[in-house]
Structure 1
Amino acid sequence: MISPLIQKLLRRDELSVREKAVLGELLQPPIVIPAGSDIVRQHSSPQYSTLILDGFAARYVMLMNGSRQITELNVPGDFVDLHSLMMSPMDHGVVALTTCPVARSPHEGLRRLTETEPHLTRLLWMDTLIDAAVHRQWIAGLGRRTALARLAHLLCELYLRLEIVHRAGRGRMELPLSQAVLADVLGLSEVHVNRSIAQLRSAELVKWTGRAIEICDWDDLVRQAEFDPTYLRLTRAPV
């Protein structure tokens, strides 16, 4: 059930059989969140943290005028609100962009883990630090990158994050998000998103058909995005 989380943590450090079992015992039976439904509501005070088992979700901030800014995409293996253990009420919401099977971990169990499992605590702490690093990259993109570079950077990031949890490989991934959602993610109009996709296609950097994306030239896509994966911490090292 929790294999995406295990796969992600193993990319950063080793896990013992006992530690894998401890993580499994934290989680309640899976439930399914329909697309478009909130997983966590802005200003709520959840008593559990939620792990995405499959699908795509998004952190968002809703402004008083009703407009929404997506601040991060969540993929399988992500705890979307691990920080709610310490920060409540939530200053943002999390919405399911597709149908999302999820598993919840009551905060009581997470608190016990911090007292009894220092290695797992550090790994989960690193997970929240990587979330913060993603936010920094997105802020830099919104402020300084061109529309084309923003989209290229997003594709590079998502490909590597999905590859870790075996949802991407050999240059291929699925991105079941509408151009309206991508516009929210990138801080662009749908017209600019459509134009940027067309530019990537015409430069033969990607083949993009429906939800299926094939990256044809990874090195050129990285150059276009000025993408440096350091912030994703993909190298295994003792934590």
Structure 2
Amino acid sequence: MLHALAGGVRQVHARGDIQREGASPQFLTLVLEGWACTYRDLENGQRQILSVLLPGDLVEPFGILPAFADHSIGAVTQVTLAQIPPHAIRATARVSPRIEQALWWDLLVAIAIEREHTVSLGRRTASERLGHLFCELHLRQQIVGLCDHSRCDLLLTQSELADLLGLSAVHVNRSLQDMRSRGLVSLRNRQLIIHDLTELRDFSFFDPNYLHADTARSSSSPEIQWSAQ
């Protein structure tokens, strides 16, 4: 059923636009492969990245589309995505309670991630923000089987990390050096290597409960996992 929904597949090159702010979206966008992000451009030329989209993420809630987009969607890497008519995914949810549950869970987690992002911008130090983001990206990839215990992809540049965390690129670099000196993480070939996950979570005040990972694992099965294969 899910494969049937994801029939309208297209690719977008790295750093290309998937959707521009102000457009009238006709489809729900589902990321199948690669990394994408939502963002807002400011009149002064600066950009705020609002969210990072990983394989399996829906950009909008599954039930309805806005009349116009209040943010842009951009490809961080080359992205393979599916364009799904809202009526089709609603019909699928009506006939499959497990798919409906998974879609509601997806919306719940998306809102929880936004709340944590707000907390980071308002109350965490630069190093804590970066560490918290690393913990989140690691766990989100682990949930969908895209990393092992100690390492995961980190496909954002330092400039993109700065745009996401409300920092300058220089501040991001200093925070990375701080965490390296503490023996918490290192970066190699666009991969994040976590040397002590427990210590990194404690340092960043990361509580994984907001991602509801246990719910995802207990309710997941091959037929409800999105895949580009």
Q: TM-score, normalised by structure 1?
A: 0.85
- Tell me the equivalent position of 2:224: none
Aligned pair partner of 2:131 in 126, 129, 152: 152
Deviation at 1:122, TM superposition (A): 3.0
Matched, 1:51 2:30: yes
Deviation at 1:114, TM superposition (A): 4.1
Q: What amino acid is aligned across from residue 103 of structure 2 in structure 1?
A: L
Q: Deviations over 1:164-209 (max 9, x none)?
A: 2222113111212211111001110011000000011111111212
Alignment of 1:61-76 (within 5 A): 61-76=40-55
Q: Deviations over 1:119-144 (max 9, x none)?
A: 42232122112111101000000000
Q: Which moved more, 1:171-180 or 1:223-232?
A: 171-180
Cα gap change, 1:144 to 1:128, in 2 (>3 Å): same
- Contact 1:48-1:85 within 8 A present in 2 as well: no
Matched, 1:220 2:187: no
Aligned pair partner of 2:105 in 126, 131, 135: 126
Gap regions ≥5 residues in structure 1: 1-21
Question: Using the alignment, how far apart are the partners of 1:216 and 1:64 within structure 2?
Answer: 40
Q: What amino acid is aligned across from residue 24 of structure 2 in structure 1?
A: S
Alignment of 1:144-183 (within 5 A): 144-183=123-162
Q: What amino acid is aligned across from residue 150 of structure 2 in structure 1?
A: G
Deviation at 1:29, TM superposition (A): 4.2
Matched, 1:36 2:15: yes
Aligned pair partner of 1:200 in 176, 179, 204: 179
Q: Deviations over 1:5-42 (max 9, x none)?
A: xxxxxxxxxxxxxxxxx111111243211111122222
Aligned pair partner of 1:97 in 76, 83, 87: 76
Question: Using the alignment, how far apart are the partners of 2:170 and 2:54 within structure 1?
Answer: 26
- Tell me the equivalent position of 1:13: none
Gap regions ≥5 residues in structure 2: 221-229
- Tell me the equivalent position of 2:225: none
Q: Which moved more, 1:29-38 or 1:152-161?
A: 29-38
Q: Which moved more, 1:128-137 or 1:105-114?
A: 105-114
Question: Using the alignment, how far apart are the partners of 1:220 and 1:30 within structure 2?
Answer: 41
- Tell me the equivalent position of 1:230: 209
- Tell me the equivalent position of 1:3: none
Cα gap change, 1:223 to 1:94, in 2 (>3 Å): same
Determine helix, strand or coil for the equivalent of 2:214. Answer: coil
Question: Using the alignment, how far apart are the partners of 1:112 and 1:163 within structure 2?
Answer: 30
Deviation at 1:72, TM superposition (A): 1.0
Q: What amino acid is aligned across from residue 62 of structure 1 in structure 2?
A: D
Q: What amino acid is aligned across from residue 171 of structure 1 in structure 2?
A: S
Q: What amino acid is aligned across from residue 172 of structure 1 in structure 2?
A: R
Aligned pair partner of 1:78 in 41, 57, 62: 57
* Number of corresponding residues: 218
Q: What amino acid is aligned across from residue 34 of structure 2 in structure 1?
A: G
